[in-house]
Amino acid sequence: MQFRTAINIKPSTVSLDHASRTLMIGSCFSEHIAERILHAGFHVASNPFGIMFNPASIAHTIERIATEQRYSADDLTLSGGRWVSLDFHGDFASRNADEAVERMNRAVEQGAKVLHEADTVVLTLGTAWVYRLNGEVVANCHKLPAQMFSREMMSVDEIVALLGETIQKYLHDKHVVLTVSPVRHVADGLDGNSLSKAMLRVAAARLAEQLERVEYFPSFEIMNDDLRDYRFYAEDMVHPSSMAVDYIWERWCEWAITPSTQTAMHEVERLWLIIVRVTPSQRIIVSSAVRCASVSKVCRRFIPMSIGRRCVHFSRWSINKSLKRVATSH
């Protein structure tokens, strides 16, 4: 008997390996997936301006980093004794305005670099609800008084027009993967969350149909139709549990990552177990090993002589041998 309905994902034209470079922009769910991509030894960057939830803020972020538009003190707002930008996450705020501007402009520069180098961009849409201040959509309200903002839901047509223009203008030479975050925005009410997710899902389908090199990955459907159980949610009953994220990550690997790279990833995971048992500071070994052409260089640079003495179950020779298998598989 079958007690679940597995999602049949359409074949992907995305073909990632350890030479690929990926930029992920969107909700907190994209951060979880980016963490696992990095853990597996890939080149990945996520959210240069911090977590983004709505399509308008995602599009705005892409435009700012693609055109390298810098910020000044005039773009800041004082909130709770700290200078903030409504385009950025609170991590970029500072009690010193000049320091905040410096952090933000550094993010613009770094974002422009990773966007230029990226061959794949993943956009994770969290909500269709947006907040406006003086007619402009903000990415983060920074606990400013609610009466300052107006709240509305973007329509499917608005989302398609805005993201479509952004993709064609700034991401035309890249693979673009759209996905809808499975995180529930319960503050909008469960009915409001369902309507919001429906808007995002229809918009993503239209964009994937209308534009070349744009595809949809069903993380939302995997969570709600495949797993479909409260035991796969974290204690807050809003975010997917670690087990659920791991499962969605496995489906992503099957969908987007080349078979030979998946084989190498299994070796990387085995190496992680070795490294974790030695010292957390040595985790860089794994992600670096799969990127290096010279195994001897990897060993010299990332494996101190002391590891062989400190590891109870694995000798330095066995670690070197494992690294060699990873490197030669590429």
H-helix or E-strand spanning residue 81: none
Q: Are residues 153 and 61 in the same domain?
A: yes
Number of alpha carbons in the 13 Å side-chain half-sphere of residue 159? 31
Does 118 reside within a domain? yes
Q: Are residues 158 and 284 in the same domain?
A: no
Residues 6 or more apart whose Cβ sits within 8 Å of residue 198: none
What 3-state DSSP class applies to 77?
strand
C-alpha–C-alpha distance, residues 178 and 200, integer Å: 10
C-alpha–C-alpha distance, residues 328 and 42, integer Å: 16
Does 85 reside within a domain? yes
Classify strands 77-79 and 82-84 as parallel, antiparallel or unpaired: antiparallel
Q: Are residues 166 and 232 in the same domain?
A: yes
- Structural domain boundaries enclosing 292: 263-328
Q: Are residues 315 and 214 in the same domain?
A: no
Q: What is the pTM of this model?
A: 0.81
Q: Are residues 158 and 298 in the same domain?
A: no
Last residue of a domain, one of 257, 283, 307: 257
Cβ atoms of 28 and 239 within 8 Å: the answer is yes
Q: Are residues 131 and 187 in the same domain?
A: yes
Tokens standing for residue 173: 């030479």
CA dihedral 11, 15, 16, 19 (to 10 degrees): 180
Q: Are residues 38 and 74 in the same domain?
A: yes
User: What is the pLDDT at residue 290?
Assistant: 43
Cβ atoms of 213 and 176 within 8 Å: the answer is yes
Q: Are residues 33 and 143 in the same domain?
A: yes
Does 97 reside within a domain? yes
User: What is the pLDDT at residue 196?
Assistant: 95
Angstrom distances, CA of residue 200 to CA of 24, 64, 203? 17, 22, 5
Does 10 reside within a domain? no
Q: Are residues 156 and 282 in the same domain?
A: no
C-alpha–C-alpha distance, residues 92 and 110, integer Å: 14
Last residue of a domain, one of 257, 283, 310: 257
Last residue of a domain, one of 196, 231, 257: 257
Residue 155 is part of a domain; what is its CATH number?
3.40.50.1110
Domain count, the chain: 2
Place of tokens 């996520």: 46
Does 11 reside within a domain? no
User: What is the pLDDT at residue 273?
Assistant: 64
User: What is the pLDDT at residue 276?
Assistant: 55
- Nearest alpha-carbon partner for 324 in 287, 306, 299: 299
Does 58 reside within a domain? yes
3-state helix, strand, coil split of the chain in percent (to 5) is 55, 15, 30
Low-confidence ranges of the chain (pLDDT < 70): 1-3, 271-330
Cβ atoms of 131 and 154 within 8 Å: the answer is no
Q: Are residues 111 and 230 in the same domain?
A: yes
How many residues can be counted in the chain? Answer: 330
Does 6 reside within a domain? no
C-alpha–C-alpha distance, residues 255 and 263, integer Å: 14
Q: Are residues 76 and 146 in the same domain?
A: yes
User: What is the pLDDT at residue 299?
Assistant: 34
Q: Dihedral sign, CA of 17, 258, 276, 298?
A: negative
User: What is the pLDDT at residue 305?
Assistant: 33
Residues 6 or more apart whose Cβ sits within 8 Å of residue 298: 285, 288, 289, 292, 323, 327
Q: For residue 50, is it left (φ>0), alpha (ψ between -120 and 50) or beta?
A: left
Does 279 reside within a domain? yes
User: What is the pLDDT at residue 185?
Assistant: 86
Q: Are residues 277 and 136 in the same domain?
A: no
